[in-house]
Amino acid sequence: MPVSPLSFVALLLLGLALALLLRGHLRDRQADRPLPHAVLLFDGDDLVDSAGIAAVDPVLHDAARQGLAATVTVLRDRFADLGSALDLPGSAALTRSVQAGGIHLIVERWADYSRLTLTGTAEAGTAQRIASLEGELRILRAIAEDTPCPIWREDAENRVIWANRIYLDLADRAMPPDSADVPAWPLRPLFPAHSEPGASLPLALPGEEDALWFDVTRITRGAETLGFAVNASRIVAAEATRKEFVQTLARTFADLRTGLVVFDRRRRLVLFNPAFSDLTGLPPEFLARRPHVRTMLDRMRDAGILPEPRDWTLWRNRIANLQTRAEQGSYCENWSLPDGRVFRVTGRPHPDGALAFFIEDATDEISLSRHLRLGQDALLEMIDHLPQAIAIFSGSGGMLLCNRAYGELWGVRDGLPDRPLVQEIALWRQADPEATVWDRIGASGPTGEETGTTEARLVREDGRHLQMRLLPLGRGRLAAEFTDAAQATDTAREMRLVVGRT
């Protein structure tokens, strides 16, 4: 049976109406479909179990993995009554429920456990997810715009396709004054696309004397690159100041005859002067490579700059303790080298952990000291054979030396210079308290007016007569000589006989 055009149109309209009714019914049923339970279980602040939360709310899912505190921070923005719902005693199994936008949040607490359950319709869940994502997007945009560090995106051809506020401000400041015809977009890159990782890059701004320095980090994501720049101007300025200070010290120490070497807290060489290289023979190329202190000591040992070890174990322990003793501020030693030289090595620690060594050639000084010591020993040996009792005092009043006869006469058995002149005068006075010489020399020695030789005869309690002579030696020094009076008379008589014969 043929269908008329009017009937065909009627059937078409009827089918369309049925389709619209069916679509609305299905949509209503989908909107009324319950939202699957999303459950979070915490033990204290740690997430121990979760179910369905990733599908319901991905933002809340990321917060839950950080702990209960982060989860509560996210939920407080959505549920106004969440604060009172969380105020539950920890010892009771109590439940609270709050609602916002068709989503129910059930909070349960018992002991140290907390369980959060989200329920509602699919439509409410979709709206909740959209609101959550929009909130996160606003936060990310605020972070990108308000951060004090320049952030930008580049395409595959290194053209800037997005930048945050501070990057745009720097781009405006870096624009040359004669750039009126330069298009505002796309932006000219502030930093070169290819740079050494970890290097600080300068950014020169028109009209400003000093350039800004930035540490640039780039992260490639597909065909695009995300760039971050951190202002490192203060660090670069501080490093430049430090290098200038070190160079100033190096120029100052270059004229010193004492060898200087400084190690940082990691015991790497940071400073040395030419005298150190000259004394030790270590080439400047080796020292410029900043060797470790143990490496440098091994090199010095191989070059014969360290003393020859008699016992390898003792030598090894000595090298191992060198650094520790210097850190304690107690290292000062003379090194007798195989070639006859003597180095005086001093270690000085610093509060920041640095360590400095001073090396000076003490060969001439040690040799002179040895000669002086030999001369002093020869002088002492000579005066020990004299019959006179002799003692010499320094300008400060301490005894410098005395011979064997003086020690036997006055009972001096202990060492020098612990015996002051005052004590010796008191000892002499006991031998003859009535002698008039004590009024002239006083209790501490001859007065300033007594510039010549002071002579006196003392009579000891044992009846022995002593001839005392006090001779000024210059620079406040004083020599005291005691001779047996009878022996002195015989010596004078012999001298007169000899003179008379001539």
Tokens of 248: 């100033």
Whether pLDDT at 4 is above 60: no
Helices (H), 147-175: 165-174
Q: Give the Cα separation of 70 and 49 in Å (integer).
A: 16
Whether pLDDT at 308 is above 80: no
Whether pLDDT at 144 is above 70: yes
Q: What is the pLDDT of residue 481?
A: 92
End-to-end CA distance of the chain: 186
Q: Give the Cα separation of 216 and 158 in Å (integer).
A: 15
Rounded to the nearest angstrom, the gap between the alpha carbon of residue 462 and the centroid of all alpha carbons in its chain is 73
Of 248 and 497, the one with more pLDDT: 248
What is the layout of strands, in order, in the sheet containing 151-154? 160-163, 151-154, 224-231, 212-221, 200-203
Whether pLDDT at 263 is above 60: yes
Q: What is the pLDDT of residue 125?
A: 53
Contacts (Cβ under 8 Å, ≥6 apart) of 493: none
CA dist 488 → 1, 180, 389, 469, 472 (Å): 176, 115, 12, 12, 21
Q: Give the Cα separation of 403 and 380 in Å (integer).
A: 7
For the chain, what are the domain ranges? 38-143, 148-235, 254-361, 377-498
Q: Give the Cα separation of 64 and 48 in Å (integer).
A: 10
- Any idea what the Cα angle at residue 500 is, between residues 494 and 502, rounded to 5°? 110
Reported as type and span, the H/E element at residue 219 is: strand 212-221
Instruction: Give residue 319's pLDDT band: very low, low, confident or very high (50, 70, 90).
Output: low
Residue keyed to tokens 């010596």: 491
Q: Give the Cα separation of 49 and 6 in Å (integer).
A: 64
Q: Which of 71-80, 216-225, 463-472 has the lowest mean pLDDT?
A: 71-80
Domain 38-143: give its CATH superfamily.
Answer: YNR034W-A-like (3.40.1840.10)
Instruction: Name the DSSP letter for residue 24.
Output: H
Q: Give the Cα separation of 380 and 471 in Å (integer).
A: 18
Instruction: Give residue 346's pLDDT band: very low, low, confident or very high (50, 70, 90).
Output: confident
Total-model pTM = 0.42
SS3 content of the chain, % helix, strand, coil (to 5): 40, 25, 30
Contacts (Cβ under 8 Å, ≥6 apart) of 117: 37, 38, 39, 40, 105, 106, 108
Closest CA to 79 of 52, 113, 103: 103
pLDDT single digits (tens) 210-236? 888 998 888 888 888 888 888 888 888
Q: Give the Cα separation of 395 and 381 in Å (integer).
A: 23
- 129 dihedral zone (left: phi>0; alpha: psi -120 to 50; beta): alpha
Of 326 and 17, the one with more pLDDT: 326
Q: Taking residues 282-302, what's their average pLDDT?
A: 87
- Any idea what the Cα angle at residue 224 is, between residues 219 and 227, rounded to 5°? 40
Please give the share of the chain, as a percent, with pLDDT higher than 90: 3
Instruction: Give residue 86's pLDDT band: very low, low, confident or very high (50, 70, 90).
Output: low
Instruction: Give residue 315's pLDDT band: very low, low, confident or very high (50, 70, 90).
Output: low
Q: Helix/strand/coil (H, E, C) string of 34-74? A: ECCCEEEEEECCEEEEEECHHHHCHHHHHHHHHCHHHHHHH
Q: At what angle do helices 58-66 and 122-146 cross, to 10 degrees?
A: 60
In single-letter form, the type of residue at position 192 comes to P
pLDDT single digits (tens) 388-405? 899 888 888 888 888 888
Q: What is the pLDDT of residue 286?
A: 92
Tokens of 81: 């009554």
What phi and psi values does residue 345 have, to the nearest 5 degrees? Answer: -115, 130
Instruction: Give residue 75's pLDDT band: very low, low, confident or very high (50, 70, 90).
Output: confident
What is the layout of strands, in order, in the sheet containing 342-349? 269-272, 259-263, 355-361, 342-349, 332-336
Contacts (Cβ under 8 Å, ≥6 apart) of 59: 74, 132, 133, 135, 136
Q: What is the pLDDT of residue 271?
A: 84
Q: What is the pLDDT of residue 386?
A: 87
Q: What is the fold, at CATH topology level, of the domain defined by 148-235? A: Beta-Lactamase (3.30.450)
Q: 254-361 maps to which CATH number?
A: 3.30.450.20
Q: What is the pLDDT of residue 310?
A: 65
Rg (CA), the chain: 49
Q: Taking residues 409-436, what's their average pLDDT?
A: 80
Please state which of the four CATH numbers 3.20.20.70, 3.30.450.20, 3.40.50.1970, 3.40.50.300 is assigned to the domain occupying 377-498. 3.30.450.20
Whether pLDDT at 45 is above 50: yes
Tokens of 195: 């740079």
Same fold, 38-143 and 254-361: no
